[in-house]
Amino acid sequence: MLNKEKLNNLAQEIWKSAESLRGKFKAYDYQNIVLPMITIRRIECVLETWRNQERATIEQKFPGDTPEQIQERLKKREKSSFRFWNSSDWTLKHLSDEAPQLLEENFREYLKAFSPNIESIIDHFNFRETLGKLKKSGRLATIVEQYAGEDLSLDRLSNLEMGYVYEELLRRFSEQSGEEAGEHFTPREVIRLMVELLNIHFNQDLESLAIYDPACGRGGMLSVAKTQLLDQIEDTQKRQIAEKLITLYGQELQPHNFAICQAEMLLKEDQSFIYLGNSLIPYNGNRDDKGDQLNKEEDRFDYMLSNPPFGVTWSDYKSQAEKFNTSRNAAQ
C-alpha cells in the first residue's frame, strides 16, 4: 500500500500536466481537464487488466485462432460479461501514437465506444466540450501523451488511495484559482471514528445493511465506512458474502464529484446507488430536476453519516427546501 508521501508525489506528478495548460486556460479550468483524463485512464487501466487475463484464457481455449480472431472474441466477451466496456480498438496510448491532426476525431470515437454507464460519467464531466477546447488550444496531444502511460490501476492504487489523490488535486486547483475549496475533505480517521461512535456493525447472520450519505462528494465516507464494517468480519467467506449485502446510497450536487464517485463505485464493484442532486430540496420526478432523489417514502436506510457543506449558502433554494416542512422530514 502506498504511503502518504508517495500519494502526494503521484498527485504532484499528475499536477505537472496542468502546467502545460498555462497561457491557454484559466486556473479554474484545469480540473475540467485533469480530473476526467485521470478518471478515463483509471477506467482504461481496469479494462487493460481484465483484457490481459481474459486474453490468456481465450488463447488457451482456442490455440488455433489468429490474433485478429482472439481480439474479436475478447471484444464480444468484454461486452457480454464485464460490467463496462469499450468496443473500439483505441486506447490513450494508441491515440497518442496516431497523427496529431486526427487525434480529436479518434478521441471522440474512443469515447463514443464506451458502455452507457461510462458515457454517463464522461457526460457529467462535460468532457466532450472540453475536448474541443483542448484541440483549439493546441494542448490535446500533450495531455493525452502525459496520461497514456500513467499506471492508475487498482493493483497500484486502491479506491482509498485514489481518493487521497483526487482530494489533493482538488485542493491544488482551488489554491491556484484563488478560491476557497468550498468542500470538506473528511480525514479517513474521522470517518472511522464516526462509524465507531454510531456503533455500526454488520450482523454476523449476514443480513443486508444500507448506508446513506446525502452529500457524498467522491464517495470517500461511504467507501471507508463499508471497509471498516468488512474489517470487523474475521471469516473470509462471510466477508465476501457481506461485501455484496452492504448497499451504499449517496447523493451529490456537484457533477464532477458525482462523476468521480460513480466511476470509483463502478470500478470496485460496490453495490451502490448514487444520484446527482440537491438533498435539501424535494425531487419532482423530472429527469432534469436536481432535487433530492432519495427522499421518497419507501426509502429507508439503516445508517446515515455525512459531512455536509456547512459553509455553502442555501439562499438560492431556501423556499424549495422549506417545502420539506410538510413532509416526513419536517423538523421535530
Tell me: the pLDDT tens digits for 178-213? 555 445 567 778 888 888 888 887 776 667 889 999
Q: Do 15 and 97 belong together in one domain?
A: yes
Q: Do 220 and 125 belong together in one domain?
A: no
pLDDT confidence of residue 332: 47
Give the end of a domain, one of 154, 176, 198. 176
Task: Give the CA distances from residue 184 to residues 74, 190, 309, 311, in Å, rounded to whole numbers and listed in that order.
Answer: 42, 12, 7, 9
The x, y and z cell numbers of residue 52, run together, are 490481459
pLDDT confidence of residue 74: 95
Give the end of a domain, one of 147, 176, 205. 176
Could you tell me the residue range of the domain that residue 114 belongs to?
4-176
pLDDT confidence of residue 160: 80
Pick from 207, 219, 201, 203: which is nearest to 270 by CA? 219
- The per-residue pLDDT string of the chain (332 residues; one tens digit each, 9 = 90 and over) reads 457 788 888 888 888 777 778 888 887 788 899 999 999 999 999 999 999 999 999 999 999 999 999 999 999 999 999 999 999 999 999 999 988 899 999 999 999 999 999 999 999 999 999 999 999 999 999 999 999 999 999 998 888 888 888 888 888 887 766 555 445 567 778 888 888 888 887 776 667 889 999 999 888 889 888 888 888 888 888 888 888 889 999 999 889 989 999 998 999 888 889 999 888 776 666 655 666 666 665 578 888 998 877 766 777 777 777 776 666 555 54
pLDDT confidence of residue 200: 80
Residues 6+ apart with CB under 8 A from 165: 7, 10, 11, 14, 38, 157
Give the end of a domain, one of 125, 142, 176. 176
Pick from 125, 128, 140: which is nearest to 32 by CA? 125
Q: Do 161 and 196 belong together in one domain?
A: no
pLDDT confidence of residue 268: 82
Q: Residue 111 and residue 119: Cα distance in Å, rounded?
A: 7
Helices 116-124 and 127-137, axial angle in degrees (round to 10): 60
pLDDT confidence of residue 206: 60
φ, ψ (nearest 5 deg) of residue 244: -90, -10
For residue 20, the domain's CATH number is 1.20.1260
Q: Do 144 and 210 belong together in one domain?
A: no
Q: Residue 262 and residue 118: Cα distance in Å, rounded?
A: 9
Q: Do 134 and 201 belong together in one domain?
A: no
For residue 265, the domain's CATH number is 3.40.50.150
Q: Do 104 and 219 belong together in one domain?
A: no
Q: Do 168 and 140 belong together in one domain?
A: yes
Q: 296 lies in a domain?
A: yes
Q: 118 lies in a domain?
A: yes
